[in-house]
Each structure stands twice: as structure tokens, then as C-alpha cells.
Amino acid sequence: MLPVIALVGRPNVGKSTLFNRLTRSRDALVADYPGLTRDRKYATAELRGRRCMLVDTGGVSGDEVGIDAEMAKQSMAAIHEADLVVFIVDARLGLSAADHTFADLLRRSDKPYVLVCNKIDGLNHETVINEFFALGLGEPWPIAASHGRNVNALLDEAVLPALPPEIEDADRVEHGIRIAFVGRPNVGKSTMVNRILGEERVVVFDEPGTTRDSIEIQFERHGTPYTLIDTAGVRRRGRVDETVEKFSIVKTLQSIEEANVVVLVMDAQEGLVEQDLHLIGTVLEQGRALVIAINKWDGLSKDHRDSIKVELDRRMVFVPWARQHFVSALHGTGVGELFKSIEEAFNCATTRWPTKRLTELVMDAQVAHPPPLAQGRRVKARMVHQGGANPPRFIVHGNFGTSVPATWQRYLENTFRKILKIKGTPIVLEFKGKS
């Protein structure tokens, strides 16, 4: 699983600045789920070659001196889900009571941590860090997040070595398609997962994978192997007293990352809500194959059903290739059909097409619809090859220069989809070659 790094500390110490520097993302996923703070930010990022998830508790309000109960709770929750806590203090403002409170939270949590002293720019860091020894957390790492000073050293020497060891792909025992059921709280994920695992023809292998938290469940359905990335809270035999957190954004993001195919579960009785679309956006960003399950289809009036379908047509235009299934996890209807789409999505996402085939496809496509002139110059594709799978990445070589018009890109994407019959997965087009 993707290791989780939480950035904590009182307001204004520079958590968001460090977060943005590490993720370089302007549009990190901002949590917006009922019952949770809006103010935690999440992003996946590659830190010196290692993929990680970063959680920023930056927006949590609190006064400068003490920290209020809400902030302590939010920070505790973030620490609880983290593999490593980066605790940031402010060299300019010096040690405060709030810092001591965080230090206590950290000690109580027993989590690995790194103490970071930020804003050392223009200061003599050898002396400013001294007062922070009083926290009893060892020697602080001096950095300047806004200038990037010492940040790479911090990663190389403190952060990365403190993460759980990486599981090499070669050590991972693959067991069929890796599926994650993802969705807002109460849409019916665990009902669906338990329904599937409880089917007569399903064999569940009780031996959990080597991954921590026994997060993977291997099973066979009609003789076909699958691995379930379990965030849904499967009620496993003999483990009923296991306290499973009802909903966790961290686990949701981790499972999307780990899966080949994501089944996005929605609640028909509640209708399509913003958060569903947000989650779909996340799946696309991560490049995962996608199947949509509209659950709780039972007990809805015809009018209600029609209005949901209209709503879906209107708002799912950005994922026209994702299959939609109307299901009832409670009654088990439509769930079997899901697997056909899961198989299809996986097959499309992982197929490798020969260069010759792809090149011919694009040659034909550009005869039918030549790319628009770029600064009066004719633009042409010469060759296409596949750069990767899950999601398929098509590298189009030609004399494209810097920009390829979006309309032509869309046309090409549609052509790839139509001719190669690609359903259920995003595809990525890359254009190479100078003008």
C-alpha cells in the first residue's frame, strides 16, 4: 500500500508550503466528505522515486498559542492513519505551548515521526533549532520549505528511510484482477462486497496477503481469480469484533492506487452528488479502469428511476466509456453483471496493441480528419506505439511541436476507442516530436 505521510503542526508553520512543494500540485484532492473536515488535503506524489500519499492538516483552524479540541482531534485522526508523521515547528516564532501539545499527541500515538524546523532562511539554524530540543523528540531537521532548502536532504536522510519497506513487484503474488469498491459512506459498499463473497460459487481464500492490515482478500468466482482491495469493511468470519473505520479518504485513495479496476458505488436513493463525481475524477487522475454501480435500485418508483437516468446522462458525459450498472446489493440483483464489465474494463486497460496496428489506425484517422494547421504549417503523425498499460498510453510521434489542438486530440481519442473497442478505462495520448 501507498505509504501515508501526515504533515502536522500548528497554523502558519509552513505545512501547506511544504505539501505544495512536495506534491507540486495546485489541485490536490481536497477532502469534502460529510462528517469529515473540509480542510485536510490529500495528494499522491513521487518523493525521490517513491510513491507516497501526503496528508496536509494545514487548513485546520486554531489559535496561535494553544490548539483547540477540534484541531487536536483532526490532527490525531491524521496521525492515526499515517505511516510517518512530519511534525513541523517554526524557527521564526520559536517554541510554543501548541508545539508541546503536538509533541504529546505524537508520543501517545507511537508513530514514527520526523521533527522539522521550518523557515530557517536568513537565520543561523545551528542556534535556532536549539530550543526545540525541549520537545523531547530529538534533533530537529532545519529546512526552508518556501525556498526548498534542505528539503531533499530531509527526504533522503529522514523521511524515506523511515517509511515501511517497499514491496517489490516481483515479491507480490498476483491473483487475478485487483478490484476496489469505492464510494461515499453508506452507499452500500460493504453490503455489496459481502454479497459477492457470500455467493455460492465464490471461494474466499482466508489467508490474507502479506500486506499489512490484511487489506487484500483473494477469491475465485466461477473459477476466475480476483483480489479484492478491501476498504469496504468486509465482515469476515471470526473477525466480527474488528473495529473497521467506516469511511476513510486515505484508504479510499490507497485502494484506488492499488486496484486495476475500481467499482464506483453510488446510492440511487440519494441521487448523484458532487462527491461521487469527485471520486470518479480521482479514479481518472490515477488512470484506473472504472465501472459504475448505481446501488439501491430496489424500491424506487419508475419516475424516480427515470430522473436518475436523465441525471446520469447529463453529468457522466466526461466518462462516456464507463459502464453503468443498476444494482441492488441488498437483493443481489445485477451484481453478477458487474463482473462482465470488470473483466471487459480490465482487458481493455491491459491489452497491448502492436505498433503497426496503432500506426495504421492513426494514419487512416488523419486522412479522414487532418490535424489543423499549426502556424500555417502542416502537422502530421508518423508513427504510434503503446507506452504503457492500465491505463493504455499511446505515444504519437510526428512533427507536433508544442501544442496539439484539443479538438483533434479528442477526435483521436474517440477514434482509438471506436476502432480498438476500448471500454471501461481512461486512455492517455502523448504527442512527441518537434515541429
x/- mask, ligand GDP, residues 373-412, rule CB under 6 A, reads ----------------------------------------
Segment near ligand GDP (CB under 6 A); pick from 11-19, 101-109, 408-416, 425-433: 11-19
Q: Are 59 and 41 in contact (CB under 8 A)?
A: yes
The distance of Cα 423 from the centroid of its chain, to the nearest Å, equals 21
- Complex with ligand GDP: residue 55 or 422, whichever CB lies closer: 55
Q: What is the residue whose three cell numbers read 488523419?
A: 366
Sole binder of ligand GDP in the list 144, 289, 293, 384 (CB under 6 A): 144
- For residue 80, the tally of other CB atoms under 10 A from its CB is 14
CB of residue 270 vs ligand GDP: minimum separation in angstroms?
10
| Element holding 338 (H helix, E strand) | helix 335-350
Residue nearest to ligand GDP (CB): 188
Look at the alpha carbons of 225, 323, 266, 212 in this order and tell me if their dihedral is positive or negative.
positive
103 touching ligand GDP, by CB under 6 A: no
- Complex with ligand GDP: residue 57 or 227, whichever CB lies closer: 57
| Element holding 77 (H helix, E strand) | helix 69-81
Q: Binding-site residues for GTP, please?
A: 9-16, 56-60, 118-121, 183-190, 230-234, 295-298
Cis-peptide into 165, omega within 30 deg: no
Instruction: Using alpha carbons, select from 322, 281, 280, 288 the residue that is nearest to residue 392.
Output: 288
Sole binder of ligand GDP in the list 72, 159, 232, 358 (CB under 6 A): 232
Segment near ligand GDP (CB under 6 A); pick from 8-16, 203-211, 316-324, 356-364: 8-16
x/- mask, ligand GDP, residues 104-143, rule CB under 6 A, reads --------------xx-x----------------------
Inter-CA distances, 103 with 50, 76, 89, 233, 267, Å: 27, 11, 10, 32, 41
Q: Are 1 and 251 in contact (CB under 8 A)?
A: no
x/- mask, ligand GDP, residues 274-313, rule CB under 6 A, reads ---------------------xx-xx--------------
Size of the site for ligand GDP (CB under 6 A): 33
CB of residue 62 vs ligand GDP: minimum separation in angstroms?
10
Footprint (CB under 6 A) of ligand GDP, residues 23-82: 58
DSSP structural state of residue 373: P
Long-range CB contact pairs, 126-135, < 8 A, 24+: 128/91, 129/91, 131/94, 131/95, 132/89, 132/95, 132/99, 134/95, 135/89, 135/95, 135/99, 135/100, 135/103
Calpha distance 223→187 (Å, rounded): 29
Segment near ligand GDP (CB under 6 A); pick from 186-194, 221-229, 341-349, 383-391: 186-194
CB of residue 116 vs ligand GDP: minimum separation in angstroms?
10
Residues that bind ligand GDP (CB under 6 A): 9, 11-17, 58, 118-119, 121, 144-147, 183, 185-191, 232-233, 295-296, 298-299, 328-330
